[in-house]
Chain A
Amino acid sequence: MDPFLYLDRDTFVHRLDPRTKMFLLVGAFVLAFLFLNPLYGLVVLAAVLAFGALARSLSNLGRIRFILVAIALVTTALWCIFASGETPLFLFVELEALLYGIGVALRISTTIIAGMIFLSTTRNEEITTGLVKLGIPYRFAFAVSTALRLVPAVATTGATIGQAQRSRGLDLDEGGVLERVRKRVPLLIPVFVSTIRSTNIFSMALESKGFGASPTRSYFLHLEMTRRDAIVLVVVALLLAVALYLRFAGYGGLEGVTR
């Protein structure tokens, strides 16, 4: 199984400097959290998805579709129950509460999707090098990229261990909540043991390849801000400015919700 989310494609987005992509990511977060109105939220989501399509990186969303749908449904449902508004819709649910729920769900989904597109189009090493160029110490930048790598690696080990335990008759999908948690013990212990073991070898291998041996370091990846990056940065900055102006002018909010 593939321990990385990165999709090796040759697109306009892939060729952007990682620093530009980090700015894009932050920009997407700001846009997502700026507007509560689901209509505006949908526009932001559509823009993010269009960008993902441009990067030919939407296939990775399939990996997390279950989580995305689950989070969206649960968020919407919870706010329907806990928020209240003015216009009754059905039972005890008001229109404003529903819209608010959808708005929050869109925010969360958009941030996750934007993050996924970022990881699908940016190499781990590019993230490290980009962070270093932004003034972050190398060791810290390396730790960030290692953590990003660890998540899918643990998931892969977990899948193997799950197969091994299911072969022994473990049925994970039966019983109540407590029962289900208890049933995961046979998965967790081997996952911990294997992860600790391979992390140990990993750090030995790092030392053996001279990690941190010399105070300075060179980089194989050559990062360069091109005109392409400049254009993208300007466009995104303008977009943000317009969005901020709209928001402060009173658009994109949601009236009549009380939490």
Chain B
Amino acid sequence: MVFRLFFGCGEGDDIAEPAISIRGLAYRYRGQEKPALDGVDLDVAEGEFVVVMGPSGAGKSTLCTTLNGLVPHFFRGRIDGEVEIRGRSTRDGKVGEFAREVGLVFQDFEAQLFSTNVALEVAFGPENFSVERGEMKRRVEGVLGRVRLEGFEGRQPATLSGGQKQRLAIASVLAIEPRILCLDEPTTDLDPVGKLGVFEIASELKERDDVTLIVVEHETEETLEADRIVILREGRVVTDRPAREVLRDVELLQESRIMPLGVARFFHEMGLWQGQLPLTPAEGLREFRQRGWQIDAGRHRELVAEDAEREEGYGEALIEVEGLSHRYPNGVVALEGVDLAVRRGEFLAVLGQNGSGKTTLVKHFNGLLEPTEGSVRVEGKTTTEQGIRTLGQTVGYVFQNPDHQIFSDTVSDEVAFGPKIRGLEEAEVEERVKEALAAVGLTGYEEEDPFGLTKGERQRVAVASVLAVRPEVLILDEPTTGLDYAEQRSMMDLVRRLNESGSTIIVVTHTMWVVAEYAHRAAVVRDGRVVLSGVVREVFAEEERLRDASLRPPHIVSLGNALGHTVLSVDEMLRVAGKGER
């Protein structure tokens, strides 16, 4: 440890060669006008843990692919500057040669797993390097132990949960025994406990094996273990400082379109100066108590009363689920005995870990799936008698990946598809397109090619195309996945506006702050059953039971819970917290 710190601090010292040295790196993909990277300088010392953050399009993934030479060897484009891995320029060798030094794990773990069982997946790397069989077996065993997948050797990767798949992807790279490991947004598709698992493993690798870690991450709560945080914007490094220092700089994070830590932001707003800011709920609790601050119980009762008032305001039950069970053709029971009602005007979050059955549940609401047992009624009639086409008028469904539905040449054609197919007249269709695009803030994009838009914008096109049918209920499956903080905010603000203007909203997600700040009610699915449901405030008060379902409330909620009063956002905390100087 001491040595590592020593080497880590010595800028440009000649005692130890840095693991990674990047000088004046610029890269422009062929056919792009703007460079993806624009003059990056970065040194990473042996054994360091660096987190790279920044908004979408800042060049984070490109930076990752420069580390093993995919840029410039795999992609076409123009490169300037130098990337050296332990003293060797990536220009001077093939990607395969650098694979020995740098293990690269991509964000999309589904696309990188291709073997028929876990052991073979892990062995693929060593096979390529002609590692002898006995040694290969030893490595497979060792690496699986390290990512906690012992005993999974014979399992098919497709049958693993999201977190397990991501850990397998890491293991398959670790088996090559690289000294540097680069993970590109390893936790984007994972539930909170799955995220934690990946970071625990990363920390262990650093501690035990002195592996140098570069991790791209956009959720601030996951970055606490890092040594350094590097923030990229428009292809440039704008910040490169010790992690805790960056995390305390609330204003810098907000400027960089990164969500600040809830606890830090709360104390910042309460007027503490930067150096004093606590970061974790535990640190926050200590600080709160030491300062003798109080939660104003009266103001907290106001919050609870507002929740109750909102509950009163809902209309009749639109979707009624009774004793719903679903068995897939291969015999897997995905849902069992689910009872649930969604009233008109509600904003419901369906929560649960990867593979818990939450998506299966909501797919019953628009008739994509039919109950094996029990019934689902929409506006009083069962989904089975209505059929998917009729139900589509009442229940709109926005799929997780917008690229699974977009196919038109222009945005307006895409949005017009739903109304047209339902035989509406041209004038009416035009009217609907205009209205839907306005609702998602894409007025003026009518003639754009949807494939040229950013992920956040494509997501909006997908929402607009569903809105154009004017459904009563809007289901959104993981609407914030793959978006940066600013895009997530604007997406959820949009959903909130739709809810306020009368739509009933059902969001499937495991992004906990989104639930806390936007949803009214939450239903927690675990192993195919709804184990917890109610007003979000009540659900998030049950931290233990959430953890059983692999969920973890945001830091600020945990702080409130520890103080005996559940709050759902920093703003609520500011409302109820008093400095208590009487």
A interface residues (Cβ-Cβ under 8 A, vs B): 1-4, 6, 8, 123-125, 146, 149, 157, 160-161, 163-171, 185-186, 188-190, 193-194, 197-198, 201-205, 207-214, 216-222
Kindly list the 3 A-B residue pairs having the minimum CB-CB distance in the complex, ordered from nearest: A213-B96, A220-B123, A205-B112
Residues A211 and B96 in contact, CB atoms below 8 Å apart: yes
Q: A2-B158, A204-B70 are in contact. Are A190 and B403 (CB under 8 A)?
A: yes
B110 within 8 A of A: yes
Give Cα A189–Cα B100 distance, bound, in whole angstroms. Answer: 38
B338 within 8 A of A: no
Per-residue interface assignment for chain B, residues 165 to 180, with 1 indicating a CB less than 8 Å from any chain A CB and 0 otherwise = 0000000110010000
Residues B74 and A220 in contact, CB atoms below 8 Å apart: no
B404 within 8 A of A: yes
Per-residue interface assignment for chain B, residues 437 to 474, with 1 indicating a CB less than 8 Å from any chain A CB and 0 otherwise = 00000000000000100000000000001100100000
Residues B421 and A167 in contact, CB atoms below 8 Å apart: no
Residues B128 and A209 in contact, CB atoms below 8 Å apart: yes
Residues A214 and B129 in contact, CB atoms below 8 Å apart: yes
Q: Which of B377-433 contact A (CB under 8 A)?
A: 388-389, 392, 396-397, 399, 401, 403-407, 417-418, 421-422
Residue of B nearest to A222 (CB): B133
Residues A167 and B158 in contact, CB atoms below 8 Å apart: no
Residues B389 and A169 in contact, CB atoms below 8 Å apart: yes
Residues A169 and B128 in contact, CB atoms below 8 Å apart: no
Interface of B is mostly: helix
Partner of A201, one of B96, B97, B111, B125: B111
Residues A161 and B404 in contact, CB atoms below 8 Å apart: yes
* Nearest-Cβ distance from residue A65 to partner chain B, whole angstroms: 12
> Which chain B residues lie closer than 8 Å to A3 at the CB level?
158
Partner of B388, one of A166, A193, A211: A166
Q: Which of B103-143 contact A (CB under 8 A)?
A: 103-104, 106, 108, 110-112, 114-117, 119-120, 123-133, 136-137, 140
Give Cα A193–Cα B360 distance, bound, in whole angstroms. Answer: 25
Residue of A nearest to B363 (CB): A163
* Nearest-Cβ distance from residue A115 to partner chain B, whole angstroms: 17
Partner of B110, one of A163, A169, A190, A198: A198
B65 within 8 A of A: yes
Per-residue interface assignment for chain B, residues 91 to 107, with 1 indicating a CB less than 8 Å from any chain A CB and 0 otherwise = 00011110110011010
Residue of A nearest to B172 (CB): A209
Residues A210 and B129 in contact, CB atoms below 8 Å apart: yes
Partner of A217, one of B130, B403, B466: B130
Give Cα A198–Cα B154 distance, bound, in whole angstroms. Answer: 25
Residue of A nearest to B123 (CB): A220
> Which chain B residues lie closer than 8 Å to A217 at the CB level?
127-128, 130
Give Cα A202–Cα B106 distance, bound, in whole angstroms. Answer: 10
* Nearest-Cβ distance from residue A38 to partner chain B, whole angstroms: 33
> Which chain A residues lie closer than 8 Å to B417 at the CB level?
168, 186
B156 within 8 A of A: yes
26 contacts between A and B (CB under 8 A): A2-B156, A123-B120, A125-B120, A163-B368, A164-B399, A165-B405, A168-B465, A168-B466, A185-B407, A186-B417, A190-B403, A193-B403, A194-B403, A202-B114, A204-B65, A209-B125, A210-B100, A212-B96, A213-B94, A217-B130, A218-B133, A220-B127, A220-B133, A220-B136, A220-B140, A222-B133
Residue of B nearest to A2 (CB): B158
> Which chain B residues lie closer than 8 Å to A194 at the CB level?
401, 403-404
Q: A167-B399, A190-B405 are in contact. Are A198 and B418 (CB under 8 A)?
A: no
Residues A214 and B407 in contact, CB atoms below 8 Å apart: no
Give Cα A205–Cα B154 distance, bound, in whole angstroms. Answer: 22
Give Cα A225–Cα B534 distance, bound, in whole angstroms. Answer: 62
> Which chain A residues lie closer than 8 Å to B397 at the CB level?
164, 167
Give Cα A221–Cα B116 distance, bound, in whole angstroms. Answer: 12
Partner of B128, one of A171, A202, A203, A212: A212
* Nearest-Cβ distance from residue A45 to partner chain B, whole angstroms: 26
> Which chain B residues lie closer than 8 Å to A214 at the CB level?
96, 128-130
B356 within 8 A of A: no
> Which chain A residues lie closer than 8 Å to B97 at the CB level?
213
